[in-house]
Amino acid sequence: MGSNWLLVNEGAAVLKRNGKIFISYSASATDYNYCMGLLWADEDSDLLDPASWSKAEQPVFKTNEETGQYGPGHNSFTVSEDGKHDVLIYHARNYKEIEGDPLWDPNRHARAKVFTWNGDGFPNFGIPEADSK
């Protein structure tokens, strides 16, 4: 069985905003199913207590066929040079089908994307943007 079938939970990154602690992580498999999940807790809660945490039921950043981006994840966060925008740094492929074990495919290239915040105080990563032509 190839790594396509492995359950992946890795690459955690933390955001602190709007009274909450958010932990994004990469999940699923290492092919086009690779995606980002999200955990959150109130910043004043006992962060060592599993009951303090909630988990998004669906991926918060995933493959997008229309933009040709597959398996986005393994992210981190930074801010724009002017300090005005939050930036998601992640990797993805620009093709779906992979020959051999997807874990060893060398084409998960780094990308950067500005993201916003929803009215409920949660991050909105949107969709992976198409590669520039």
pTM above 0.95, yes or no: no
Q: How many domains does the chain have?
A: 1
Question: Is the CB of residue 70 less than 8 Å from the CB of residue 126?
Answer: no
Answer whether residue 115 is part of any domain.
yes
Answer whether residue 101 is part of any domain.
yes
Answer whether residue 20 is part of any domain.
yes
Question: Is the CB of residue 86 less than 8 Å from the CB of residue 76?
Answer: no
pLDDT value, residue 6:
58
Q: Which candidate, 7, 6, 24, places its Cα nearest to that of 15?
A: 24
* Domain hosting residue 65, numbered range: 3-124
Answer whether residue 105 is part of any domain.
yes
pLDDT value, residue 93:
95
Contacts 24+ apart (CB under 8 A), 106-109: 108/71, 108/74
The CATH number assigned to the domain holding 114 equals 2.115.10.20
What tens-digit pLDDT sequence spans the chain (133 residues)? Answer: 344 445 788 999 999 999 999 999 999 988 999 999 999 999 999 999 999 999 999 999 999 999 999 999 999 999 999 999 999 999 999 999 998 888 888 888 999 999 999 999 999 999 999 998 6
Answer whether residue 86 is part of any domain.
yes
